[in-house]
Amino acid sequence: ENIFKVSKNFTVTPGFRFEYLRSTAKGHKEVEGDIQITDEVRNRTFALAGLGLELKPGKNTSIYANISQAYRPIDYSQLEPFGISSKIDPNLKDSKGFNSDLGYRGTIRNYLNFDIGGFYMAYNKRIGVTLATDPITGDYYSVRKNIANSVHQGLESYIEFNILKYFNSQSSFGLSIFNSFAYVDAKYTTGEFKGKRVEAAAKTINRVGLIFSTSKLSTTLQVNSVGDAYGDASNAMSSEDPVAGYIPAYTVLDWSASYKLNNFAIKLGANNLTDKSYFTRRTDEYPGPGIIPAVGRSFYLGFTAKF
C-alpha cells in the first residue's frame, strides 16, 4: 500500500494483499450418538486489491472515495459450532465481494464536525440461517448455508455542533449536540429469497445525544434507536423454530461521565437507564436457541491513573 500525492490537494492510495490460508481439524466428534473421526485440511489462496481517493477542496474539508475487495473464509466454528441446533450444509463455501464508499467530511472552525457519505457493499455467497422443510415429517427446521448474494447500500452521517463554541469560540466550556445516523438497505439479490431483507439487518440506526465538557469534567447523555429486523432470510414474522421470527425496533438511553484530576480520572455511567426490555438477535447456538435478551439497567464505575 502506498500514498501517491498527485497534487497538493489530491491523493491516490492503491493497495494489494495476497493471502494463503491453511486450516486443519483433527479429532473425533459425536453426531446423533455416533462417534465420527474428523481429519480435514483446507488450503486456499486469494488476492485482494483496493483503491482510495481523497480531494481536499478546503483546508479543513475533504471528499473521499474508496473501493476494496473483501473475502470471508468459513472457519471451524461455522462448520461445527458449539451447541448448534440448526443443520449445516456440508458444502459451505467462502464468501467474497467488495466494499465501496463516497463521502464528504470536515470541520468548521471549532464548533462543527461532520462526515456524510454513502456506501455500497456486495456480499456474495453470504452464509446465513433460513428455514427448510423436512421432506418426511413436513416440520420446519433451520439450516445454515450459503444463502445467496446480497447487497448492502445506504447512507451514514455524523454531525456534532458545539453550541457554546459557536457563540464564543474562546469558551472554556463546551455543550455539543450530536447525531449519528445510518440507513441500510440490505437485501438478497439472487436465489429463492431475492428481494428479502438480510437477517438481523436493521434499516435504521440513530444515535442522538448531548455532551457537556470542561477542562476536568465531561458527561454525555445518549439516545439509541435501532430499527426492526428479521431472524432469518425468509423474513418469517413467527415460527416454531426459535431462530426465525421478527426482531422489533427498540430505543435505549445511556449516560456516562468522567472527571479528571491531575493524572487521575474517575469514570462512571449507566446503560439502559429506563430498564428497557428488548432483544437484538436470535441464535441457533449457545446460549440459545432462541432470542438473546439484552442486558437491563446497569451501572459501572472505573478509575484510571497515568504516570
Residue type, 17: R
Does the pLDDT at position 26 exceed 90?
no
Asked if the model's pLDDT at residue 201 lies above 80, the reply is yes
Say which amino acid occupies 136.
I
- Residue 227: pLDDT band (50, 70, 90) is very high
Please state, in angstroms and rounded to a whole number, the distance separating the CA atoms of residues 105 and 177.
17
* pLDDT classification of 143: cutoffs 50, 70, 90: confident
Segment 143-152 shows an average pLDDT of 91
pTM of the model as a whole: 0.83
Q: What is the pLDDT of residues 229-264, one digit of tens each?
A: 998 888 989 887 788 889 999 999 999 999 999 899
Higher-pLDDT residue of 205, 25? 205
Q: Which of residues 129 and 214 earns the better pLDDT score?
A: 214
pLDDT-based confidence at residue 287 (cuts at 50, 70, 90) = confident
Residue 112: what pLDDT? 95
What is the CATH topology of the domain spanning 4-305? Maltoporin; Chain A (2.40.170)
- Residue 35 is predicted with a pLDDT of 73
pLDDT tens-digit profile of 75-130? 777 777 655 667 888 888 889 999 999 999 999 988 999 999 999 999 999 988 78
Residue-wise over 34-72: b if at least 16 C-beta within 10 A, else e? eeeeeeeeeeeeeeeebebbbebeeeeebbbebeebebe
Residue 267 binned pLDDT confidence (cut-offs 50, 70, 90): very high
- Please say whether the dihedral angle defined by the alpha carbons of residues 138, 144, 146 and 149, taken in this order, is positive or negative: positive
Percent of the chain with pLDDT over 70: 96
pLDDT score recorded for residue 84: 60
Residue 251 vs residues 81, 212, 228, 246, 293: alpha-carbon distances, Å: 31, 22, 11, 16, 14
pLDDT for 31: 66
136: confidence class by pLDDT, cuts 50, 70, 90? confident
pLDDT at 17 over 90: yes
> Which pLDDT score, from 0 to 100, does residue 216 have?
92
What spatial distance separates the first Cα and last Cα of the chain, rounded to whole Å? 36
Written as one letter, the residue type at 253 is L
* Cβ atoms of 163 and 176 closer than 8 Å: yes
Exposed / middle / buried, residue 29 (Cβ in 10 Å: 0-12, 13-18, 19+): exposed
Whether residue 169 has pLDDT greater than 90:
no
Tell me: pLDDT of 162 over 80: yes
User: Who's near 41: CB < 8 A, 6+ residues apart?
Assistant: 22, 23, 24
| Overall average pLDDT of the 3-19 stretch | 95
What φ, ψ does residue 164 adopt, rounded to 5°? -70, -40
Average pLDDT of every residue of the chain? 90
